Amino acid sequence: MKKIDWYILKKFLVTFIFCLLLFTIVAVAVDSSEKTDDFVNANLTTSEIITKYYLGFVPFIWSLLFPLFVFIAVIFFSSRMASRSEIIAILASGTSYNRFLRPYLIGGILLSVLLWVGSRYWVPKANTIRSEFQQNYIDKNDPTKNRFMGICDRCFYLRTDTNTFVGIRDFDTSSKSARGFFLEEVKGNKMIYNLRAEVLKWDTAVNKWKLINASERYIDSLGEKLQLHDTLIISLKVKPEELRKDYYLKDKLTTPELVAFIKQEELRGTEGLNTLKVERYRRTATPAAVLLLTMIGAVIASRKTRGGSGMHLAMGITIAALFIIADRFSTVFATKGNFHPLLAAWVPNIGFAIVAYWLYKRTPK
């Protein structure tokens, strides 16, 4: 690292922090104006609003717009260097163009690693704060939330292992009980065991499930055997806390927890996991996009043009908008169609990597 590297890297990081703080202030101002009525209805003090909501909202905004902050920062300070002919002087001194890009690469890697670690561990903890506020004070009073067209929102049908299927009806999270339950075991294409009960309840004394008015059927080649029970204690590979439909769950789980949850739900035969899988892969793809956009910004803004910084910023915002649109389209195709989640997360990066290479080859060196 030479003096010129520290000079560029310092400008990079200082400008990035400035963009981060500036956009954060704007985002908080806009969000607070939209949620003023919700804050008043919740009857919370200013300190409670900060601790119960904005401590989670601000990291969420940072993670969401992190690549955009990096991109704008690179465009802004590089175009100013180009307009003052600093980049021309650097290259005229005998420094190669690739050598000139080294501090950009170092800065991009540092910020990519920061986002990678944050999106895996720190941001999910912040999202827990934000989502709890959303559920307790906003969604709770919104009549349009949690409305399902004829679908039981508190009913679950899942697979606990390769041969066992469980159905639970009208599960109440407060009492940890359900109004209907059945369990079926299959071997090959034939059912060998069936268990049904009118009531399913979690027994806190033994940490197991208790069935009321249960009936067991054992089926084999000799016939069917029926047993009736007033109460029956069973061990089930499902805990009460797992019987929930949390629409903010993917944002609250750390990456190791998310991976484990996806594997568990795949074993149970749960459908509609593409949203979770896209989130898993995006937590790696987005940090890679930070490095990619850093290099694109450096290549674009290092050229001295008549339009100056304004032309560079216009080009940068256009490219950033195209990147976000491509990312949204690929996500929709994965969650609503048959597009593979891994490709959905990485297709925008692959496309803009080609753009970055094309811009690099065309840039005067």
19 and 72 Cβ atoms separated by less than 8 Å: yes
- The rounded distance, in Å, linking the Cα atoms of 314 and 295 is 17
CB atoms within 10 A of CB 13: 15
Ramachandran region of residue 169, left (φ > 0), alpha (ψ -120 to 50) or beta? beta
The secondary structure of 203-262 as a DSSP string is: ETTTTEEEEEEEEEEEEETTEEEEEEEEEEEE--S--GGGS---TTHHHHS-HHHHHHHH
Place of tokens 């029956």: 232
- The rounded distance, in Å, linking the Cα atoms of 294 and 91 is 19
* Alpha-carbon torsion (326, 107, 19, 83), positive or negative: negative
State pTM to two decimals: 0.81
Kind of pairing between the strands at 223-234 and 208-220: antiparallel
The tens-digit pLDDT sequence of the chain (365 residues) is 788 889 999 999 999 999 999 999 999 999 999 888 888 888 888 898 999 899 999 999 999 889 989 999 999 899 888 888 888 898 888 889 999 999 999 999 999 999 999 999 999 999 999 988 888 887 766 655 554 444 566 788 888 887 888 999 888 888 889 989 999 999 888 889 999 999 999 998 889 999 999 999 998 877 889 999 999 999 888 888 888 777 788 889 999 999 998 988 887 777 778 889 999 999 999 999 999 999 999 988 887 766 566 677 777 778 877 888 888 888 888 877 778 899 888 998 998 899 888 888 888 76
The pLDDT, as a whole number, for residue 22 is 92
* CA contacts within 13 A on the Cβ side of 364: 10
Place of tokens 């802004």: 76
296 and 352 Cβ atoms separated by less than 8 Å: yes
Domain residue spans in the chain? 3-141+271-362, 156-244
The pLDDT, as a whole number, for residue 309 is 65
Place of tokens 């990597």: 353
- Helix, strand, or coil here: 145? coil
The pLDDT, as a whole number, for residue 140 is 67
